[in-house]
Amino acid sequence: MTGLREVVLRSEEMEVVILPDVGGRIHRIRAFGWDLLRTPDDPAVHVVEPFLWGAYVMSPWCNRAAPGTTVLAGREVTLAANFPDGTAIHGLISSAGWSQRSNGDLAFVGGGGGWPWAFEVSQTASLSGTTLTLEYRVRNLDDAPMPAGIGLHPWFRRPVDVRLPAEAVYSTNVDSPSHSARVTGTRDLRSLAPPAEGLDDTWTQLTEPRVELVWPESGIQATLEAETDARLLVAVACPPAFDAIAVEPQTHGPHPFRRLAHGEPDPVALLPPDASMRLGLRLTVRHHDEPAS
C-alpha cells in the first residue's frame, strides 16, 4: 500500500479515484469497466513521474514558460526548469498536497519562494451516472494583481480518436509563435480521427466548447465540455511511441508570461486581489450504440 489518501467516487457506470496528496490529481477514470486514463498500477508512481499519468491540475499557469527570473505585474518572479526540454511547465501544484474539505472538495493554498503572490486553487468533483463534473478555481489571495491561469492535463489512453472544433492553432508549445495560424493538414482536428504522432500544440478559436473522444477498442465515446469566465484553449500532445495522448483545456496560450509582457494574444490573465478564475469541466461517457443525450 502507498499510504496516499484516496477520494473515490462511484456510480453504476463509472469509478473515479482522486489523490489529494499528489496535486489533487485524478488517478483513475474507469467507465463501463475500462480505464480511460493512463493509470499506474501503484498510485505512488504519480510521485515519481508526476507529469506522465492520470489527470492533474495546472495552476497558476499552464503549459510551458521560460525559466529564470523576470518581472511580472511589478514583481520579480523566478521559475525553475522542471522538464527535460528546459522549460518551467504546468504550474506549481501538480505534486503538492491538498487539503480535503469534503469527499470531492479539495483545496491548495500556496505562494512564496519564486512565486511572490499568495493564491488558492480549489477543486470540486462529483459523479452522477455517466457524467463526471469538475469545478476548478484559482483565487488571488494577495493585495496586488496576480498573473493566473488554470487547466487540466488528462492523459487519455490510446488508441483514441479525437474531434476538436477549433479553427486556429499555436503550432508548437515548446517555442510557440506569438500568433496563431489557421488549422491545416495534421493540425486540423475538426473531424474525428486519431491525432498525428508528434503533435504538441495549442488550439484556439473553438467553435464549440467541447472535445469528442472515441475509444474504438471498447466502443466508449466521451464528450469533454468546458465552461470558463476566461479564455478557453485546448492543448493536445501526442508523444511518439507513448501509450496515451493529452487533451488539456486551459485558460491561456503557451508561454503565457511572454504573451503578457509583450502584448501577444491569449496571455495569462491578471487577477485583481481576492478575485478568482473558474474552469468547469463535464466528462460524459456512453457506449457507441447508445443514443446521445
Residue 2: predicted pLDDT: 61
The tens digit of pLDDT for each residue in 2-11 reads 689 999 999 9
Residue 1 lies in a domain: no
Residue 243 lies in a domain: yes
Average per-residue pLDDT for the chain: 95
265 neighbors 231 (Cβ within 8 angstroms): no
Specify the number of domains making up the chain. Answer: 1
Residue 292 lies in a domain: no
In the block, cell 508570461 appears at 257
Determine the Cα–Cα distance for residues 227 and 213; give it in Å rounded to an integer.
18
Report the predicted TM-score, pTM, of the whole model to 2 decimal places: 0.96
Residue 62 lies in a domain: yes
| Cell, residue 191 | 473531424
Residue 188 lies in a domain: yes
Residue 293 lies in a domain: no
At residue 187, φ and ψ (nearest 5 deg) are: -90, 0
- Asked if pLDDT for residue 39 goes beyond 80, the answer is yes
CATH of the domain at 99: 2.70.98.10
Residue 290: predicted pLDDT: 59
Determine the Cα–Cα distance for residues 97 and 112; give it in Å rounded to an integer.
16
Residue 2 lies in a domain: no
Residue 112: predicted pLDDT: 76
Residues 6+ apart with CB under 8 A from 281: 133, 134, 135, 136, 152, 224, 225, 226, 227, 249
Q: Which domain holds residue 12?
A: 7-287
